[in-house]
Structure 1
Amino acid sequence: MLDTRRNISLACALSALAGYVDGIGYLYLGGLFVSFMSGNSTRMGVNLAQGQWMNAAEAFGVIALFVIGAAVGSLMVLGRGVHRQPWVLLVEALLLVAAGLADVFGMPNTAIAAIVLAMGLENAVFQIEGGGGLGVTYVTGALVKVGQLVAAALTSGARWGWVSNLLLWAALVAGSVCGALAYYWINLAAIWFAAGGALALSAIVAVTVHR
């Protein structure tokens, strides 16, 4: 997936967008994530062990919405070839716009639901036939790849093969910093910047696909 400059740039942009949104969601939800379901799964397990049923149910609800978003994204890309990416990004942007509007009208729970769906959907951008692909809203796999490719570089493999995965991680971290700062500035309304970013990416990808 990270085999061309175009794909690396797009993946990093999407990772930064996910980090930005996740920073907002994490602060608003008080420790739950909107794009990192491993963390939410651990939180749910701990809450179940502690008998905190409502907190566990909240974590499970976020996980379920993320899975639904991922399923919708997969349905969108199946059979659409190279033209799938701008459509997925456009729907993601519309979901983030819906989140912004829900916040304006005093429906923060609806806003969070739309955000989580958008994050699940985003992972379909690099989906390949059969359901595999590159996850861009979480970077555990990218960090594993960094370690593996560093080892390969030390044993006569590609010297800089690990850099693209490291950039993916760095983009998410940078995005989360920006998301947290924006949240402290204007609260959940910070999601409008993410909506604009997703819309811009959709347009850029549409142009590059046709080229």
Structure 2
Amino acid sequence: MNLGIVLAGLAGAMGAAAWLHTSGWYVTFMTGNTERMILEHFKGNHVLGLGALATVLAFLVGVMVATLARIHWWKKSRHGATLVTMAAAYVAWLVDVLTNDSDAPLGVVPILSLAFGLGALNTSISRQNQVAMPLSYVTGTLVKMGQGFALHLSGVRRWVWVAQVVTYAGFLAGIVLGGTVFHSIGTHNSLAALALMSTVIAVITWKLDHPRFADKDAGE
């Protein structure tokens, strides 16, 4: 559960960076992007509609890549998904540095890279190749939280809502931290900080997946 808080926090921070440094693009909110990829065309905003479609596809491909990597390379491991997310964060940062001014809004490639990375990140906590704890799927988390509260109050099942509250709190904390930091340090530095955060979390998940190596390093 502690790992879930950290991973949800990273998801919230990635969403904060994308939203603050664009004209309001969401890389965590695929429900809204699915609506926008249709409805923007009715308003004549065809570019925005296509952008929303591209964001959904990038997120979906990120989920697929991380899942395939888990099946074929990193079986029963959580660090594979965080490595994919880390790589996506670095791609977003490098492309932004090479193609954009320091305070200019994020371009298409960095945004799609972050959406790809978030898709991958959401597969981190899986059982039998199915997601056990969605990290940025806040709608589903709130539904489960509300059901858990109702079950607790009715005496049917107690404390089943704790995991959802923890995930939601982690996501909120990531947004608050990301918003506080990224709002004041500019686009390039925000993506660099995000890449560094994802690196630290990838190392943490690798050590959790390989405790023998971590213990060996600590003893040397």
Could you say which TM-score interval applies, normalised by the shorter chain?
0.7 to 0.9
Residue equivalent to 1:58: 51
* Structure 2 counterpart of 1:201: 201
C-alpha displacement at 1:42, in angstroms? 2.2
Residue number in structure 1 paired with 2:109: 110
In structure 2, C-alpha distance between the alignment counterparts of 1:93 and 1:18, rounded to whole Å: 12
Does the 8 Å contact 1:77/1:127 carry over to 2?
no
Query: Which secondary structure state, in structure 2, belongs to the residue aligned with residue 78 of structure 1?
Result: helix
Distance apart, 1:18 and its partner CA:
0.8
> Could you give the per-residue CA deviations for residues 169-197 of structure 1, whole angstroms, max 9, x where no partner exists?
12212211222233321222212222222
SS class of match (2:186): helix
Unaligned runs of 5+ in 1: 1-7
Q: Is the 8 A contact 2:18 2:25 kept in 1?
A: yes
Distance 1:169 1:13 in 2: 11
Taking only the aligned residue pairs, the percentage that are identical comes to: 26
Are 1:169 and 2:168 counterparts? Answer: yes
Rounded Cα–Cα distance in structure 2 between residues aligned with 1:200 and 1:193: 11
Bigger Cα displacement from structure 2, 52-61 vs 128-137: 128-137
C-alpha RMSD over aligned residues: 1.8
Between the aligned partners of 1:158 and 1:196, the Cα distance in structure 2 is 40
Contact 1:74–1:127 under 8 Å retained in 2:
no
Distance 1:167 1:208 in 2: 20
CA contact (8 A) 1:14 1:137 kept: no
Code of the aligned partner of 1:38: T
Q: Does the 8 Å CA contact 1:66/1:116 hold for their aligned counterparts? A: yes
- Write out the 4+ residue segments of structure 1 that deviate beyond 6 Å after TM superposition: none
Q: Equivalents in 2 of 1:171, 1:106: separation in Å?
A: 32
Q: Report the Cα offset of residue 130 of structure 1.
A: 5.0
Within 5 A, what are the aligned runs for 1:36-51?
36-51=29-44
Under a length normalisation based on structure 2, what TM-score does the superposition of the two structures give?
Answer: 0.84
Preserved contact between residue 13 and residue 177 of structure 2 (Cα < 8 Å)? yes
Single out whichever of 53-62 and 98-107 deviates more from structure 2: 98-107
Query: What is the TM-score normalised by the length of structure 1?
Result: 0.87
Distance in 2 between the 1:27 and 1:39 partners? 17
2: CA distance, partners of 1:207 / 1:69: 23
Partner Cα distance (2:51, 2:205) in 1: 35
